[in-house]
Each structure stands twice: as structure tokens, then as C-alpha cells.
Chain A
Amino acid sequence: QVQLVESGGGVVQPGRSLRLSCVVSGFTFDSYGMHWVRQAPGKGLEWVAVISYEGRNKDYAGSVKGRFTISRDNSKNTLYLQMNSLRADDTAVYYCAKGPRYDSTPYPQDYWGQGTLVTVSS
């Protein structure tokens, strides 16, 4: 079955960096786009970043552009989110989520990990 498992969250001081990982199984990872979505405590969902199946194309929400970098290692079935210059308002649960196949029409995120909590605080 499809599984996505995030890790790497924790407490970090403002201005510091953190890297999240998401290991996937149960589908052909290198054929699917992947996303990161976050949710601040008690708040709604916010799309963060997307990467194409081969890693060539990436896009970011305006709130993280220039500070966060999405990447993937298809040989390890792993998605990453490098977060630099962290701010208090980056505090959230970060979810990785599966996107559509490279050759399909747009499709929403159909499988999600359990999330990893990032707390930015001094």
C-alpha cells in the first residue's frame, strides 16, 4: 500500500535551517510529482512547494520562495524540503503529498504522510 513517512521536524531557533525528508513506498516514485503542504497550529492548509517527477521543475508559495528548496532523490524514493532562514510563522505541521503521474491531467494530492512538526522559537 502507499505510504509516505516524513521526518526531520523539531524545534529550531529563528534564522536557522532544517531539512525535512519524506520516504515513500507503494508506488513508482519517479513517475509522480510531489508536494509539501503545511498547517500552522489551529489554522488551515497552505500549499508550500511542488517538484516534478524527474526533479527538473519546481515551484514555491510566495511565503517561502527564496528560503525553502524542494528536491528529490529518486534512487532513494525520498523527497526533501530544505528550509533556511526560518521564521516564527513557519511553525507548522509539514506534510508531504503525492501528486499526479507525469503523463496525466492535473490531479489533487491523493496520498499524504502523517506530518512532521516544525517549531521555530527562541
Chain B
Amino acid sequence: DIQMTQSPSTLSASVGDTVTITCRASQSISNWLAWYQQKPGKAPKLLIYRASGLETGVPSRFSGSGSGTEFTLTITSLQPDDFASYYCQHYSSSSWTFGQGTKVEIK
């Protein structure tokens, strides 16, 4: 089974900062990677698909990159609404695995 490992687990930042979250796969997954945002008590929201595709309606300050085993989610000019937890996910036609999550908190 493919394992997904995110880092860091927690990230402290201020409004206006640029933050980067890393996700590593235990084996190559090409670009079959998604990123989700989740706020407390709410369902996850899809941000990025195919490693770098921006889901409709998601602000352009969110961007994804990477392929193979290493991926990043970057949030530029962090906004108050962005303080949340973020999850990467490997997906395919037969496998779906989430990373353990990264909480972005206010410094």
C-alpha cells in the first residue's frame, strides 16, 4: 500500500505570509495527488487535483506542484480564512490514501 507523509504537522504563520506544506509518497504516484482544506466541524474542501490543477472557485493564492514522490502546497499571502487543516491525498482508480494532515495556525 502507498503511504502518504505530510510535513510539518503544525505550522504557525501570520496573515500575509507564504506557507508551504510538503507531502511525500512511499512510491511514485505520477501526479495523482489532491489537496484538501478542512475547517473544524466542516467537511473537507477540494483545492487542488492532479498535483497542480486548481479546482473551480479556489483562490489563485493556492498552488500545488510536484510529481513522482514529492509534492508541495503553497499558500501565498495567507488570509484569515486560510487558517485550517490541510490534507494531501493520493487517488487513482483503485487506491485512495490521505496524509496525516497539517494544521496551519495563527502565530
A residues in contact (CB < 8 Å) with B: 35, 37, 44-47, 50, 59, 62, 95, 106-110, 112-115
Contact = CB atoms under 8 A, between A and B. Distances in A.
B91 A95 contact: no
A110 B87 contact: no
A106 B92 contact: yes
Contact of B98 (A46, A107, A112, A115): A46
Given A44-B87, A45-B87, A59-B94, A109 B46 contact: yes
B43 A114 contact: yes
Task: Give the interface residue-count category, chain B.
Answer: 20 to 34
Interface of B: 1, 32, 34, 36, 38, 42-46, 49, 55, 87, 89, 91-94, 96-101
A62 to B, nearest CB: 8
Contacts, number: 48
A47 B43 contact: no
Nearest to B101: A44
A45 B91 contact: no
B43 A112 contact: yes
Contacts of B44: 37, 45, 95, 109, 112
A47 B46 contact: no
Contacts of A114: 42-43
A47 B97 contact: yes
